[in-house]
């Protein structure tokens, strides 16, 4: 079964996060610096929201007093939907589609161990399907499985 841990193995465990009172301008700088489309918002170790490019876009048009000094807590998506290392990729895709979210923080026994994005999921799915096809081709042509 293809699960979140398989993605983290190649992607790594790094999570870029910020505090809820971080100004939007500072968050955008961090996103650019690390080339990511979202930041996890944490209170201590606890994830309390996700601040993404989409939240910014919504903030720009929908929030009257918006400025680069606005705290991310005003615009972030909350509560946070999380997965675990053993969640299947199909379940992640379903959550992302149903809830219209693009990032899922990964918690193992309550501790943050990573974050996966919609791009990671699609890329992982394609790689997984390629491998399955290769195994089946090997099986059919007799080059694998002990032949």
Ligand X SMILES: NC(=O)c1ccc[n+]([C@@H]2O[C@H](COP(=O)([O-])OP(=O)(O)OC[C@H]3O[C@@H](n4cnc5c(N)ncnc54)[C@H](O)[C@@H]3O)[C@@H](O)[C@H]2O)c1
Residues within the interface to ligand X (CB under 6 A): 11, 14-16, 36-40, 102-103, 115-120, 123
Q: Return the residue nearest ligand X (CB atom).
A: 119
Nearest to 113 by CA among 71, 75, 81, 84: 84
Nearest 5°: CA angle at 10, between 9 and 14?
Answer: 80
Give me 61's structure tokens. 């048009």
- Taking the complex as a whole, the smallest distance from the CB of residue 86 to ligand X amounts, in Å, to 18
CB nearer ligand X, residue 37 or residue 59: 37
Question: CA 52 to CA 78: how far, in whole Å?
Answer: 11
- Taking the complex as a whole, the smallest distance from the CB of residue 16 to ligand X amounts, in Å, to 4
- Taking the complex as a whole, the smallest distance from the CB of residue 144 to ligand X amounts, in Å, to 28
- Taking the complex as a whole, the smallest distance from the CB of residue 34 to ligand X amounts, in Å, to 7
CB nearer ligand X, residue 10 or residue 136: 10
Q: Which residue do the tokens 């301008």 mark? A: 25
Question: CA 21 to CA 19: how far, in whole Å?
Answer: 6
CB nearer ligand X, residue 77 or residue 103: 103
Question: CA 41 to CA 73: how far, in whole Å?
Answer: 8
CB nearer ligand X, residue 57 or residue 136: 57
């Amino acid at each position: 079964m293809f699960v979140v841990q398989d993605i983290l193995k190649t992607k790594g465990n790094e999570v870029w996060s910020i505090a809820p009172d971080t100004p939007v301008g500072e968050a955008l700088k961090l996103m650019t610096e690390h080339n990511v489309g979202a930041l996890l918002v944490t209170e201590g170790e606890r994830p309390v929201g996700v601040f993404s490019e989409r939240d910014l876009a919504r903030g720009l048009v929908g929030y009257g007093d918006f400025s680069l000094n606005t705290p991310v807590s005003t615009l972030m998506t909350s509560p946070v939907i999380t997965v675990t290392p053993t969640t299947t990729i199909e379940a992640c895709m379903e959550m992302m589609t149903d809830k219209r979210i693009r990032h899922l923080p990964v918690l193992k026994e309550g501790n943050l161990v990573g974050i996966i994005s919609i791009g990671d999921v699609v890329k992982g799915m394609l790689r997984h399907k390629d491998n399955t096809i290769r195994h089946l081709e090997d099986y059919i042509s007799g080059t694998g499985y002990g032949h």
